[in-house]
Amino acid sequence: MSKGVSIAVVGSGYVGLVAAACFAEIGHSVVCVDNDEAKVRTLREGGVPIHEEYLPELLSRHRSNRVEFTSDLRSATQRAQAIFIAVGTPQSQTGSADLSYVDAVASEIARNIDSYKVIVEKSTVPVYTNEWIRRVIERNGVSREHFDVASNPEFLREGTAVADFLHADRIVLGAETERAAELLKQIYLPLSSGDYYRSADAVPGARGENDPPPVLLTSTKAAEIIKHASNAFLATKISFINVVANICEAVGADVEEVARGIGMDSRIGPKFLRAGVGYGGSCFPKDVAAFRYVAEQMGVDFCLLKEVERINEEQKRRFFHKVRSALWTFRGKKIAVLGLAFKGGTDDIRESPALDIVKQLLHEGAIVTAHDPAAEGRAKEVIPPGSQMRYADDPYTAAQDADALVILNDWQEFAELDLNRLHYTLRYPIIIDGRNLYGPATMLEQGFTYLSVGRPGLSHTRDAAVGQRLP
């Protein structure tokens, strides 16, 4: 194994915590810094504040030796060779990224630099942020030879973030000096050399010692743009397939067949062509808006992204109308909801289309019983349980005597329901599936009225309510 680097990661959110655990996993000494004392305490005591596969294992493997938690940015800065900034960049009212946390952290780091450091942007930030960080540090009296600012964007998906980090498609290193590039390369060497994958307890994934992730060295500006452009492109792909789904629905074709046909073109690829209720989460909505704003600031008209956002909003609205088309009215109706997080495999409810749809159902008077394997706790903070909103521990309890079941995210277990049991648990066997987890023909065979996205609606009765175009 290569020589370990002393690393500080500032921010212990989804990105920072995963990065800290993974840097420790590949042999570095890591201090993870957060100004939230309670969070630091939880992490020190062995708690894991987010639901992320392999994260608890990695943290317990390294907690007492290679990774520690602190709120003391000063000493973390002094001990580190590389400082990764992984604090939040929330969306401001204009759609631009609010960089005040990055600014504050950069100033604090600057006040404590006592030897050469590489300060690395890990948060998703607009192009030119590295320039701003450099200026902030210089303004605090640190001379150029004592630091470099680099950009190392992450492409982690929530739920699979650890495997995405350790088995990356690519490692993008944006640096302006040889010295900064060398340190970053050294940090990622255990992955790029393939060494890590030789270890018996390596986290499993797509990469191996003979197929390590490639390293792409770029300018810092290019690295910043790569991150925004990647997320904007993926969001565009989703909005594109959602509109294609709507066409499929109108003509009676199946979007799953169409997506397969499109995706078999190697220039397009099969991923991110799943039609549904629209994208959500902490990245896509924020990053599409921020990239559009960056373009605008540079005098470039990127109205394509505006359309991507509009289609995404429209997709949630269309789905809600689909539920209505099956139930006619909502007041007093009992609706079982599967899925609250913005997708399966995570407890994150930020910008969750599922929550938007639940809120709309409640607004129109429905009585909702929801189940999500991990997001219930967070959802309760936004929609507290009450007479109209209930939470259930499993799908069948949620479905008990419901007038219909609505599927809003794609947890694997929602795709493996006991359909027989579900049929006699529901009051009416109606399923409206926002993630196309089942085949329409199977559902018909099982006696369900089944509506999904971009596929013909099927009913076991002759009930015309399944004509998905009914107003």
Q: Is 423 in the site for ligand UDX (CB under 6 A)?
A: no
Q: Is 316 in the site for ligand UDX (CB under 6 A)?
A: no
Q: Is 225 in the site for ligand UDX (CB under 6 A)?
A: no
Token pair listed for 407: 């599927």
- Which one from 22, 32, 248, 283 is the annotated catalytic residue? 283
Binding residue count for ligand UDX, defined by CB under 6 A: 19
Q: Is 152 in the site for ligand UDX (CB under 6 A)?
A: no
Q: Is 411 in the site for ligand UDX (CB under 6 A)?
A: no
Q: Is 291 in the site for ligand UDX (CB under 6 A)?
A: no
Task: Mark the segment that binds ligand UDX (CB under 6 A) among 266-274, 297-305, 390-398, 441-449.
Answer: 266-274
Token pair listed for 392: 């259930």
Task: Mark the segment that binds ligand UDX (CB under 6 A) among 28-36, 136-144, 276-284, 439-447.
Answer: 276-284
Q: Is 156 in the site for ligand UDX (CB under 6 A)?
A: yes
- The 381-400 site mask, x for binding ligand UDX (CB under 6 A), equals --------------------
Token pair listed for 452: 């999904």
Q: Nearest CA to 391 among 356, 378, 283? A: 378
Question: Rule CB under 6 A: which of 319-358 touch ligand UDX?
Answer: 342-343
> Which residues have C-beta within 8 Å of that of residue 46, sequence separation ≥ 6?
59, 60, 63
Please state, in angstroms and rounded to a whole number, the distance separating the CA atoms of residues 419 and 124. 42
- The 233-262 site mask, x for binding ligand UDX (CB under 6 A), equals -x---x------------------------
Q: Is 283 in the site for ligand UDX (CB under 6 A)?
A: yes
Token pair listed for 388: 């109209």
Q: φ, ψ for residue 228 (rounded to 5)?
A: -65, -40
Q: Nearest CA to 19 among 156, 148, 183, 142? A: 156
Whether 95 and 293 have beta carbons less than 8 Å apart is answered as yes
Please state, in angstroms and rounded to a whole number, the distance separating the CA atoms of residues 450 and 437. 11
Whether 379 and 391 have beta carbons less than 8 Å apart is answered as yes
In the complex, the smallest distance separating the C-beta of residue 141 from ligand UDX, rounded to whole angstroms, is: 35
Q: Give the residue, chosen from 23, 84, 155, 438, that forms a contact with ligand UDX under the rule CB under 6 A.
A: 155
Q: Give the residue, chosen from 11, 280, 395, 454, that forms a contact with ligand UDX under the rule CB under 6 A.
A: 280
- Closer residue to ligand UDX (CB): 81 or 346: 346
Q: Is 294 in the site for ligand UDX (CB under 6 A)?
A: no
- E strands, 50-111, in order: 67-70, 82-85
Q: Is 157 in the site for ligand UDX (CB under 6 A)?
A: yes
- E strands, 357-464, in order: 367-371, 389-391, 404-407, 430-433, 449-451
Q: What are the helix and strand counts (H, E) for the chain?
A: 17, 14
Q: Is 197 in the site for ligand UDX (CB under 6 A)?
A: no
Q: Give the residue, chosen from 276, 429, 454, 457, that forms a contact with ligand UDX under the rule CB under 6 A.
A: 276
Q: Is 154 in the site for ligand UDX (CB under 6 A)?
A: yes
| 32 in active site | no
Q: Is 284 in the site for ligand UDX (CB under 6 A)?
A: yes
Q: Is 286 in the site for ligand UDX (CB under 6 A)?
A: no
Q: Nearest CA to 350 among 371, 321, 375? A: 375
Token pair listed for 34: 């957060």
Residue type, 254: D
Q: Is 279 in the site for ligand UDX (CB under 6 A)?
A: yes
Concatenate the DSSP letters of all residues of 124-172 into one string: ---TTHHHHHHHHHHHTT--GGGEEEEE----PPTTSHHHHHHT-S-EE
Residue ranges in contact with ligand UDX by CB under 6 A: 154-158, 231, 234, 238, 272-274, 276, 279-281, 283-284, 342-343
Which residues are part of the catalytic machinery?
283
